Amino acid sequence: MADAYEKNKVNPPKVLVLGLLSIIMIGTALLRLPLATVSGQPLSWIDALFTATSAVCVTGLVVVDTATTFSTFGQVVILTLIQIGGIGFMTFATFFAFLLGKRISLKDRLVLQQALNQNSIEGIVRLVLHILIYTIVIELAAGLILAARFAYEMPLGRAIWFGMFHAISNFNNAGFDLMGNFTSFTRYTEDPIITLVLGILIFLGGIGFLVLSELADYRHERRLSLHTKVVLTTTTTLVLVGMVFILLIEWNNPKSLAPLSPFGKLLAAFFQSITPRSGGTMTLPVAEFQQATIFLIIVLMFIGASPGSAGGGIKVTTFATLIGAVWAQAKGREDVVFFRQRIAPALIYKSLTVTLSGLFFLIIVSIILSITERNVPFLSILFETTSAFATVGLSLGLTGELSPIGRVIIALTMFIGRVGPLTIAIALAQRQQKEY
Protein backbone atom coordinates (compact mmCIF):
# COMPACT_ATOMS: atom_id res chain seq x y z
CA MET A 1 0.00 0.00 0.00
CA ALA A 2 2.76 2.41 0.94
CA ASP A 3 4.66 1.58 -2.26
CA ALA A 4 1.58 2.23 -4.37
CA TYR A 5 1.06 5.57 -2.66
CA GLU A 6 4.66 6.58 -3.26
CA LYS A 7 4.37 5.55 -6.89
CA ASN A 8 1.28 7.69 -7.47
CA LYS A 9 2.28 10.60 -5.26
CA VAL A 10 2.36 13.90 -7.11
CA ASN A 11 4.68 16.84 -6.53
CA PRO A 12 2.49 19.88 -7.32
CA PRO A 13 5.34 22.45 -7.30
CA LYS A 14 7.31 20.35 -9.76
CA VAL A 15 4.28 20.01 -12.04
CA LEU A 16 3.79 23.79 -12.02
CA VAL A 17 7.44 24.53 -12.74
CA LEU A 18 7.69 22.03 -15.58
CA GLY A 19 4.33 23.11 -16.96
CA LEU A 20 5.33 26.78 -17.14
CA LEU A 21 8.69 25.88 -18.65
CA SER A 22 6.96 23.84 -21.34
CA ILE A 23 4.63 26.71 -22.25
CA ILE A 24 7.56 29.14 -22.39
CA MET A 25 9.45 26.82 -24.74
CA ILE A 26 6.41 26.45 -27.01
CA GLY A 27 5.90 30.22 -26.98
CA THR A 28 9.57 30.79 -27.79
CA ALA A 29 9.36 28.47 -30.80
CA LEU A 30 6.20 30.18 -32.09
CA LEU A 31 7.66 33.68 -31.70
CA ARG A 32 10.72 32.53 -33.61
CA LEU A 33 8.61 31.82 -36.71
CA PRO A 34 9.01 34.36 -39.56
CA LEU A 35 5.20 34.62 -39.51
CA ALA A 36 5.40 36.17 -36.02
CA THR A 37 7.24 39.33 -37.06
CA VAL A 38 6.29 42.24 -39.29
CA SER A 39 9.58 42.06 -41.17
CA GLY A 40 9.35 38.32 -41.76
CA GLN A 41 12.76 37.89 -40.17
CA PRO A 42 12.82 35.53 -37.17
CA LEU A 43 13.70 36.94 -33.78
CA SER A 44 16.90 35.84 -32.14
CA TRP A 45 16.46 32.93 -29.76
CA ILE A 46 17.26 35.07 -26.74
CA ASP A 47 14.74 37.80 -27.66
CA ALA A 48 12.04 35.21 -28.40
CA LEU A 49 12.77 33.46 -25.09
CA PHE A 50 12.72 36.74 -23.19
CA THR A 51 9.38 37.78 -24.75
CA ALA A 52 7.77 34.39 -24.17
CA THR A 53 8.96 34.34 -20.55
CA SER A 54 7.69 37.86 -19.97
CA ALA A 55 4.29 36.93 -21.42
CA VAL A 56 3.84 33.62 -19.59
CA CYS A 57 5.06 35.18 -16.34
CA VAL A 58 2.67 38.12 -17.02
CA THR A 59 5.44 40.66 -16.51
CA GLY A 60 5.53 42.98 -19.52
CA LEU A 61 9.24 43.74 -19.72
CA VAL A 62 10.15 43.82 -23.42
CA VAL A 63 13.40 43.94 -25.38
CA VAL A 64 11.59 44.63 -28.68
CA ASP A 65 8.55 46.83 -29.23
CA THR A 66 5.42 44.67 -29.32
CA ALA A 67 3.44 46.90 -31.68
CA THR A 68 6.07 47.43 -34.36
CA THR A 69 7.99 44.13 -34.16
CA PHE A 70 5.27 41.49 -34.07
CA SER A 71 2.67 40.71 -36.71
CA THR A 72 -0.95 39.99 -35.83
CA PHE A 73 0.00 36.32 -35.48
CA GLY A 74 2.86 37.19 -33.12
CA GLN A 75 0.60 39.44 -31.05
CA VAL A 76 -2.02 36.67 -30.82
CA VAL A 77 0.68 34.28 -29.59
CA ILE A 78 1.76 36.80 -26.94
CA LEU A 79 -1.84 37.39 -25.86
CA THR A 80 -2.47 33.65 -25.59
CA LEU A 81 0.65 33.20 -23.48
CA ILE A 82 -0.51 36.07 -21.24
CA GLN A 83 -3.93 34.50 -20.75
CA ILE A 84 -2.51 31.07 -19.98
CA GLY A 85 0.12 32.52 -17.66
CA GLY A 86 -2.37 34.79 -15.92
CA ILE A 87 -5.06 32.33 -14.90
CA GLY A 88 -2.79 29.29 -14.98
CA PHE A 89 -2.32 26.42 -17.40
CA MET A 90 -3.90 24.00 -14.90
CA THR A 91 -7.05 26.13 -14.93
CA PHE A 92 -7.22 25.72 -18.71
CA ALA A 93 -6.53 21.99 -18.49
CA THR A 94 -9.25 21.55 -15.86
CA PHE A 95 -11.74 23.50 -17.96
CA PHE A 96 -11.15 21.36 -21.05
CA ALA A 97 -11.31 18.18 -18.98
CA PHE A 98 -14.62 19.39 -17.54
CA LEU A 99 -15.99 20.10 -21.06
CA LEU A 100 -14.97 16.62 -22.19
CA GLY A 101 -16.70 15.08 -19.21
CA LYS A 102 -13.48 13.73 -17.72
CA ARG A 103 -13.06 13.24 -14.01
CA ILE A 104 -10.72 15.65 -12.22
CA SER A 105 -8.27 13.39 -10.40
CA LEU A 106 -6.83 13.88 -6.93
CA LYS A 107 -3.45 14.66 -8.50
CA ASP A 108 -5.02 17.43 -10.60
CA ARG A 109 -6.77 18.86 -7.54
CA LEU A 110 -3.52 18.89 -5.57
CA VAL A 111 -1.76 20.78 -8.38
CA LEU A 112 -4.67 23.23 -8.60
CA GLN A 113 -4.48 23.75 -4.84
CA GLN A 114 -0.82 24.71 -5.17
CA ALA A 115 -1.41 26.88 -8.25
CA LEU A 116 -4.30 28.81 -6.69
CA ASN A 117 -2.65 29.02 -3.26
CA GLN A 118 -5.56 27.33 -1.49
CA ASN A 119 -5.44 25.61 1.89
CA SER A 120 -7.48 22.59 0.80
CA ILE A 121 -8.80 20.88 -2.32
CA GLU A 122 -12.41 21.25 -1.20
CA GLY A 123 -14.37 23.24 -3.80
CA ILE A 124 -11.28 23.69 -5.98
CA VAL A 125 -13.01 22.69 -9.24
CA ARG A 126 -15.89 25.05 -8.52
CA LEU A 127 -13.37 27.86 -7.96
CA VAL A 128 -11.72 27.08 -11.31
CA LEU A 129 -15.05 27.39 -13.13
CA HIS A 130 -15.70 30.68 -11.34
CA ILE A 131 -12.27 31.94 -12.34
CA LEU A 132 -13.02 31.30 -16.00
CA ILE A 133 -16.43 32.98 -15.78
CA TYR A 134 -15.07 36.06 -14.00
CA THR A 135 -12.18 36.29 -16.45
CA ILE A 136 -14.40 36.15 -19.53
CA VAL A 137 -16.97 38.62 -18.18
CA ILE A 138 -14.44 41.18 -16.90
CA GLU A 139 -12.17 41.03 -19.94
CA LEU A 140 -15.06 41.18 -22.40
CA ALA A 141 -16.78 44.10 -20.64
CA ALA A 142 -13.57 46.11 -20.30
CA GLY A 143 -12.50 45.23 -23.84
CA LEU A 144 -15.74 46.59 -25.29
CA ILE A 145 -15.45 49.83 -23.31
CA LEU A 146 -11.86 50.32 -24.44
CA ALA A 147 -12.81 49.43 -28.03
CA ALA A 148 -15.53 52.08 -27.99
CA ARG A 149 -12.98 54.64 -26.80
CA PHE A 150 -10.33 53.61 -29.35
CA ALA A 151 -12.94 53.70 -32.14
CA TYR A 152 -12.78 57.50 -32.00
CA GLU A 153 -9.22 57.47 -33.35
CA MET A 154 -8.82 54.25 -35.38
CA PRO A 155 -10.83 51.86 -37.59
CA LEU A 156 -13.42 49.75 -35.75
CA GLY A 157 -11.67 46.41 -36.34
CA ARG A 158 -8.39 47.73 -35.01
CA ALA A 159 -10.18 49.40 -32.09
CA ILE A 160 -11.77 46.07 -31.08
CA TRP A 161 -8.39 44.31 -31.27
CA PHE A 162 -6.75 47.08 -29.22
CA GLY A 163 -9.58 46.98 -26.68
CA MET A 164 -9.45 43.21 -26.17
CA PHE A 165 -5.64 43.02 -26.18
CA HIS A 166 -5.25 45.66 -23.48
CA ALA A 167 -8.18 44.34 -21.43
CA ILE A 168 -6.64 40.86 -21.31
CA SER A 169 -3.12 42.20 -20.77
CA ASN A 170 -4.07 44.47 -17.88
CA PHE A 171 -6.52 42.11 -16.14
CA ASN A 172 -3.73 39.54 -16.11
CA ASN A 173 -1.35 42.24 -14.82
CA ALA A 174 0.91 41.67 -17.84
CA GLY A 175 1.74 45.20 -18.97
CA PHE A 176 2.14 44.42 -22.70
CA ASP A 177 0.69 47.12 -24.96
CA LEU A 178 0.28 48.02 -28.62
CA MET A 179 0.87 51.75 -28.30
CA GLY A 180 4.25 51.58 -30.04
CA ASN A 181 7.75 52.91 -29.39
CA PHE A 182 7.75 51.80 -25.73
CA THR A 183 5.43 54.72 -24.84
CA SER A 184 2.72 52.66 -23.11
CA PHE A 185 -0.30 54.89 -22.39
CA THR A 186 1.56 58.15 -21.77
CA ARG A 187 -0.56 59.99 -24.34
CA TYR A 188 -3.70 59.07 -22.38
CA THR A 189 -2.53 60.45 -19.04
CA GLU A 190 -5.60 62.66 -18.55
CA ASP A 191 -8.09 60.37 -20.30
CA PRO A 192 -10.49 59.18 -17.55
CA ILE A 193 -11.93 56.28 -19.57
CA ILE A 194 -8.59 54.72 -20.47
CA THR A 195 -7.00 55.39 -17.08
CA LEU A 196 -9.90 54.23 -14.91
CA VAL A 197 -10.71 51.12 -16.96
CA LEU A 198 -7.07 49.99 -17.00
CA GLY A 199 -6.67 50.84 -13.31
CA ILE A 200 -9.76 48.83 -12.36
CA LEU A 201 -8.55 45.88 -14.46
CA ILE A 202 -5.17 45.89 -12.72
CA PHE A 203 -6.86 46.16 -9.32
CA LEU A 204 -9.29 43.30 -9.99
CA GLY A 205 -6.58 41.11 -11.49
CA GLY A 206 -4.31 41.80 -8.52
CA ILE A 207 -6.68 41.05 -5.63
CA GLY A 208 -6.96 37.38 -6.54
CA PHE A 209 -9.66 35.06 -7.83
CA LEU A 210 -10.68 33.88 -4.35
CA VAL A 211 -11.45 37.48 -3.38
CA LEU A 212 -13.39 38.02 -6.62
CA SER A 213 -15.37 34.86 -5.91
CA GLU A 214 -16.25 35.96 -2.39
CA LEU A 215 -17.23 39.44 -3.57
CA ALA A 216 -19.47 37.93 -6.24
CA ASP A 217 -21.14 35.67 -3.63
CA TYR A 218 -21.41 38.36 -0.96
CA ARG A 219 -24.99 39.22 -1.89
CA HIS A 220 -26.01 35.70 -0.87
CA GLU A 221 -23.41 34.76 1.73
CA ARG A 222 -23.22 38.12 3.54
CA ARG A 223 -19.76 37.31 4.84
CA LEU A 224 -16.13 37.73 3.84
CA SER A 225 -13.20 35.60 4.92
CA LEU A 226 -10.28 37.02 6.86
CA HIS A 227 -8.15 36.63 3.72
CA THR A 228 -10.48 38.80 1.66
CA LYS A 229 -10.75 41.46 4.36
CA VAL A 230 -6.96 41.69 4.71
CA VAL A 231 -6.41 41.80 0.93
CA LEU A 232 -8.99 44.54 0.32
CA THR A 233 -7.92 46.63 3.30
CA THR A 234 -4.19 46.38 2.64
CA THR A 235 -4.45 46.88 -1.13
CA THR A 236 -6.71 49.93 -0.79
CA THR A 237 -4.44 51.42 1.87
CA LEU A 238 -1.32 50.92 -0.27
CA VAL A 239 -2.99 52.48 -3.31
CA LEU A 240 -4.16 55.55 -1.37
CA VAL A 241 -0.85 56.00 0.48
CA GLY A 242 1.11 55.59 -2.75
CA MET A 243 -1.16 58.10 -4.51
CA VAL A 244 -0.70 60.71 -1.79
CA PHE A 245 3.10 60.35 -1.76
CA ILE A 246 3.32 60.52 -5.56
CA LEU A 247 1.23 63.71 -5.53
CA LEU A 248 3.40 65.29 -2.86
CA ILE A 249 6.72 64.36 -4.49
CA GLU A 250 5.83 64.87 -8.15
CA TRP A 251 3.39 67.80 -7.96
CA ASN A 252 5.92 70.36 -9.23
CA ASN A 253 8.02 68.02 -11.36
CA PRO A 254 7.90 69.55 -14.89
CA LYS A 255 8.56 66.11 -16.43
CA SER A 256 5.66 64.35 -14.73
CA LEU A 257 2.72 65.97 -12.89
CA ALA A 258 3.44 69.69 -13.17
CA PRO A 259 2.06 70.19 -16.73
CA LEU A 260 -1.22 68.44 -15.91
CA SER A 261 -4.50 69.89 -14.67
CA PRO A 262 -5.45 69.26 -11.02
CA PHE A 263 -7.82 66.48 -12.12
CA GLY A 264 -5.13 65.06 -14.40
CA LYS A 265 -2.65 65.01 -11.53
CA LEU A 266 -5.07 63.05 -9.33
CA LEU A 267 -5.82 60.63 -12.16
CA ALA A 268 -2.14 60.09 -13.01
CA ALA A 269 -1.07 59.68 -9.37
CA PHE A 270 -3.92 57.22 -8.79
CA PHE A 271 -2.89 55.09 -11.76
CA GLN A 272 0.82 55.17 -10.97
CA SER A 273 -0.01 53.98 -7.46
CA ILE A 274 -2.05 51.05 -8.80
CA THR A 275 0.27 49.85 -11.55
CA PRO A 276 3.14 48.76 -9.21
CA ARG A 277 0.67 46.21 -7.79
CA SER A 278 1.97 44.17 -10.78
CA GLY A 279 0.31 45.97 -13.68
CA GLY A 280 3.26 47.33 -15.61
CA THR A 281 1.27 49.80 -17.72
CA MET A 282 2.19 53.45 -17.31
CA THR A 283 0.56 56.78 -18.12
CA LEU A 284 3.60 58.82 -17.04
CA PRO A 285 7.28 58.36 -18.01
CA VAL A 286 8.55 56.56 -14.91
CA ALA A 287 12.17 57.34 -15.81
CA GLU A 288 11.41 61.05 -15.30
CA PHE A 289 10.21 60.63 -11.72
CA GLN A 290 12.12 61.93 -8.72
CA GLN A 291 14.38 59.35 -7.08
CA ALA A 292 12.15 59.29 -4.00
CA THR A 293 9.16 58.31 -6.16
CA ILE A 294 11.18 55.65 -7.98
CA PHE A 295 12.22 54.12 -4.65
CA LEU A 296 8.59 54.23 -3.45
CA ILE A 297 7.56 52.33 -6.59
CA ILE A 298 10.28 49.76 -5.90
CA VAL A 299 8.78 49.17 -2.44
CA LEU A 300 5.25 48.90 -3.85
CA MET A 301 6.44 46.48 -6.55
CA PHE A 302 8.19 44.30 -3.97
CA ILE A 303 4.99 44.06 -1.91
CA GLY A 304 3.04 43.17 -5.04
CA ALA A 305 -0.44 41.77 -5.40
CA SER A 306 -2.58 39.18 -3.63
CA PRO A 307 -2.04 35.40 -3.32
CA GLY A 308 -3.86 33.44 -6.00
CA SER A 309 -3.82 36.38 -8.41
CA ALA A 310 -2.03 37.13 -11.65
CA GLY A 311 0.33 39.46 -9.79
CA GLY A 312 3.71 38.87 -8.20
CA GLY A 313 5.72 40.25 -5.28
CA ILE A 314 5.82 38.90 -1.74
CA LYS A 315 2.00 39.51 -1.62
CA VAL A 316 -0.05 42.01 0.35
CA THR A 317 -1.07 39.37 2.92
CA THR A 318 2.59 38.70 3.70
CA PHE A 319 3.22 42.43 4.11
CA ALA A 320 0.13 42.85 6.30
CA THR A 321 1.15 39.92 8.51
CA LEU A 322 4.62 41.38 9.08
CA ILE A 323 3.20 44.81 9.87
CA GLY A 324 0.75 43.16 12.28
CA ALA A 325 3.60 41.31 13.99
CA VAL A 326 5.61 44.51 14.39
CA TRP A 327 2.57 46.32 15.78
CA ALA A 328 1.88 43.51 18.25
CA GLN A 329 5.46 43.58 19.47
CA ALA A 330 5.34 47.36 19.85
CA LYS A 331 2.18 46.98 21.95
CA GLY A 332 3.72 44.19 24.02
CA ARG A 333 1.24 41.59 22.77
CA GLU A 334 2.02 37.99 21.91
CA ASP A 335 -0.76 37.47 19.38
CA VAL A 336 -1.24 39.08 15.96
CA VAL A 337 -4.93 39.81 15.49
CA PHE A 338 -6.76 40.99 12.36
CA PHE A 339 -10.50 41.65 12.44
CA ARG A 340 -10.76 39.87 15.82
CA GLN A 341 -9.10 36.74 14.46
CA ARG A 342 -5.75 35.44 15.64
CA ILE A 343 -3.02 34.82 13.07
CA ALA A 344 -1.29 31.47 13.54
CA PRO A 345 2.44 31.73 14.35
CA ALA A 346 3.18 29.44 11.38
CA LEU A 347 1.83 32.10 9.01
CA ILE A 348 4.03 34.73 10.60
CA TYR A 349 7.12 32.54 10.13
CA LYS A 350 6.09 31.82 6.55
CA SER A 351 5.67 35.55 5.86
CA LEU A 352 9.09 36.26 7.30
CA THR A 353 10.63 33.46 5.22
CA VAL A 354 9.02 34.65 1.99
CA THR A 355 10.09 38.26 2.59
CA LEU A 356 13.68 37.46 3.48
CA SER A 357 13.95 34.98 0.59
CA GLY A 358 12.73 37.68 -1.80
CA LEU A 359 15.12 40.29 -0.41
CA PHE A 360 18.05 37.88 -0.55
CA PHE A 361 17.22 36.97 -4.14
CA LEU A 362 16.95 40.64 -5.18
CA ILE A 363 20.30 41.42 -3.57
CA ILE A 364 22.05 38.57 -5.40
CA VAL A 365 20.53 39.41 -8.80
CA SER A 366 21.22 43.13 -8.40
CA ILE A 367 24.87 42.43 -7.57
CA ILE A 368 25.23 40.17 -10.61
CA LEU A 369 23.61 42.72 -12.92
CA SER A 370 25.86 45.43 -11.51
CA ILE A 371 28.76 43.36 -12.79
CA THR A 372 27.30 42.41 -16.19
CA GLU A 373 25.70 45.80 -16.97
CA ARG A 374 28.54 48.26 -16.56
CA ASN A 375 28.02 52.03 -16.29
CA VAL A 376 24.34 51.60 -15.36
CA PRO A 377 23.09 53.46 -12.25
CA PHE A 378 22.39 51.07 -9.41
CA LEU A 379 18.88 52.47 -8.89
CA SER A 380 18.01 51.47 -12.46
CA ILE A 381 19.36 47.96 -11.84
CA LEU A 382 17.45 47.60 -8.56
CA PHE A 383 14.28 48.90 -10.23
CA GLU A 384 14.62 46.46 -13.16
CA THR A 385 15.37 43.53 -10.86
CA THR A 386 12.42 44.26 -8.57
CA SER A 387 10.11 44.77 -11.54
CA ALA A 388 11.13 41.39 -12.97
CA PHE A 389 10.91 39.56 -9.63
CA ALA A 390 7.50 41.07 -8.84
CA THR A 391 6.38 40.45 -12.47
CA VAL A 392 5.42 44.11 -12.82
CA GLY A 393 6.95 45.17 -16.14
CA LEU A 394 7.85 48.78 -15.34
CA SER A 395 11.31 49.88 -16.42
CA LEU A 396 13.53 52.93 -16.38
CA GLY A 397 14.62 52.11 -19.92
CA LEU A 398 17.19 49.45 -19.08
CA THR A 399 15.41 46.38 -20.53
CA GLY A 400 16.20 47.04 -24.19
CA GLU A 401 19.81 47.91 -23.32
CA LEU A 402 20.55 44.71 -21.42
CA SER A 403 23.45 42.56 -22.53
CA PRO A 404 22.66 38.97 -23.63
CA ILE A 405 23.65 37.63 -20.21
CA GLY A 406 21.60 40.40 -18.58
CA ARG A 407 18.54 39.35 -20.59
CA VAL A 408 18.97 35.76 -19.50
CA ILE A 409 19.28 36.83 -15.86
CA ILE A 410 16.16 39.01 -16.02
CA ALA A 411 14.23 36.26 -17.82
CA LEU A 412 15.19 33.82 -15.05
CA THR A 413 14.21 36.43 -12.46
CA MET A 414 10.77 36.79 -14.05
CA PHE A 415 10.28 33.03 -13.99
CA ILE A 416 11.35 32.67 -10.37
CA GLY A 417 9.22 35.66 -9.41
CA ARG A 418 6.16 34.14 -11.06
CA VAL A 419 6.55 30.64 -9.64
CA GLY A 420 8.05 31.70 -6.32
CA PRO A 421 11.53 30.98 -4.93
CA LEU A 422 10.18 28.60 -2.32
CA THR A 423 8.06 26.68 -4.85
CA ILE A 424 11.07 26.18 -7.10
CA ALA A 425 13.19 25.08 -4.13
CA ILE A 426 10.55 22.51 -3.16
CA ALA A 427 10.17 21.36 -6.77
CA LEU A 428 13.90 20.76 -7.13
CA ALA A 429 14.37 19.18 -3.73
CA GLN A 430 14.57 15.41 -3.68
CA ARG A 431 13.19 14.53 -0.29
CA GLN A 432 12.76 10.96 0.83
CA GLN A 433 10.49 9.95 3.69
CA LYS A 434 11.77 7.18 5.90
CA GLU A 435 9.66 4.95 8.09
CA TYR A 436 11.01 3.93 11.45
- pLDDT tens-place string over residues 47-100: 999 999 999 998 889 999 999 999 999 999 999 999 988 876 556 556 555 555
What value does the mean pLDDT take over residues 128-146? 88
What value does the mean pLDDT take over residues 330-339? 83
| pTM (two decimals) | 0.88
- Assess whether pLDDT exceeds 60 at residue 347: yes
Question: How confident is residue 227, by pLDDT bands cut at 50, 70 and 90?
Answer: confident
Question: How confident is residue 192, by pLDDT bands cut at 50, 70 and 90?
Answer: very high
Question: How confident is residue 2, by pLDDT bands cut at 50, 70 and 90?
Answer: very low
Per residue, what are the HEC states of the chain? CHHHHHHHCCCHHHHHHHHHHHHHHHHHHHHCCHHHECCCCCCCHHHHHHHHHHHHCCCCCCCCCHHHHECHHHHHHHHHHHHHHHHCHHHHHHHHHHHCCCCCCHHHHHHHHHHCCCCCCCCHHHHHHHHHHHHHHHHHHHHHHHHHHHCCCCCHHHHHHHHHHHHHHHHCCCCCCCCCCCCCCHHHCCCHHHHHHHHHHHHHHHHCHHHHHHHHHHHHHCCCCHHHHHHHHHHHHHHHHHHHHHHHHHCCCCCCCCCCCHHHHHHHHHHHHHHHHCCCCCCCCHHHCCHHHHHHHHHHHHHCCCCCCCCCCCCHHHHHHHHHHHHHHHCCCCCEEECCEEECHHHHHHHHHHHHHHHHHHHHHHHHHHHHCCCCCHHHHHHHHHHHHCCCCCCCCCHHHCCHHHHHHHHHHHHHHHHCHHHHHHHHCCCCCCCC
